[in-house]
């Protein structure tokens, strides 16, 4: 494998890594927003439950005004699970790209070592040929 091919492979892998990293950053940002929304929904639920549990007098409809929505909470939980799955997938892709880059580098180094040994043998053979010629 030529050095130019290795550099092209590494360049392509680096581009893919940057793209996946950008997507991963966006997913992590969405996950943080989602977690904030879930925390808010839970806070709303618990504040309503405390009010009821304390035996306070509640106005009719007070529990519904900007209140907890089970449907919204379930939707947020589902989004959180999807985000976690996408984040794991992107992390796996990054690991695969790292592995691919290591394999390409290993292949290049192996081929370079073989090429160096062949060159050394060739130089040694040329030196022996020159000695034979000079000794005649």
How many domains does one find in the chain?
1
Q: Is 114 exposed, middle or buried (0-12, 13-18, 19+ CB in 10 A)?
A: exposed
- Model confidence band, residue 46 (pLDDT cutoffs 50, 70, 90): confident
In a domain, 97, yes or no: yes
Tokens of 14: 């680096």
Residue 1 sits at the vertex; the CA angle it makes with 13 and 3, to the nearest 5 degrees, is 65
In a domain, 124, yes or no: no
Give the span between the Cα atoms of 90 and 20, in whole angstroms.
6
In a domain, 93, yes or no: yes
In a domain, 75, yes or no: yes
In a domain, 86, yes or no: yes
Structural domain of 21: 3-104
DSSP H helices, 1-136, are: 3-53, 70-135
**Residue whose entry in the numeric block shows the structure tokens 């699970």:** 81
Per-residue pLDDT of 89-134, as tens digits, reads 999 999 999 999 999 999 999 999 999 999 999 999 999 999 888 8
* Predicted local distance difference test score (pLDDT) of residue 42: 84
Handedness of CA 118, 119, 120, 125 (dihedral sign): positive
Contact 104, 9 (CB under 8 A): yes
pTM over 0.85: no
């Amino acid at each position: 494998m030529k050095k130019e091919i290795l550099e092209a492979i590494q360049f392509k892998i680096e581009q893919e890594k940057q793209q996946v990293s950008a997507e991963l950053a966006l997913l992590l940002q969405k996950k943080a927003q989602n977690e904030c929304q879930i925390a808010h929904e839970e806070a709303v639920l618990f504040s309503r439950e405390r009010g009821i549990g304390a035996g306070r007098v509640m106005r009719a409809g007070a529990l519904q005004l900007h209140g907890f929505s089970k449907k919204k909470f379930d939707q947020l939980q589902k989004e959180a699970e999807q985000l976690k799955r996408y984040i794991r997938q992107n992390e796996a892709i990054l690991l695969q790209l790292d592995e691919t880059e290591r394999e390409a580098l290993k292949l290049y180094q192996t081929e370079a070592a073989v090429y160096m040994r062949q060159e050394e043998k060739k130089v040694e053979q040329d030196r022996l040929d020159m000695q034979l010629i000079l000794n005649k």
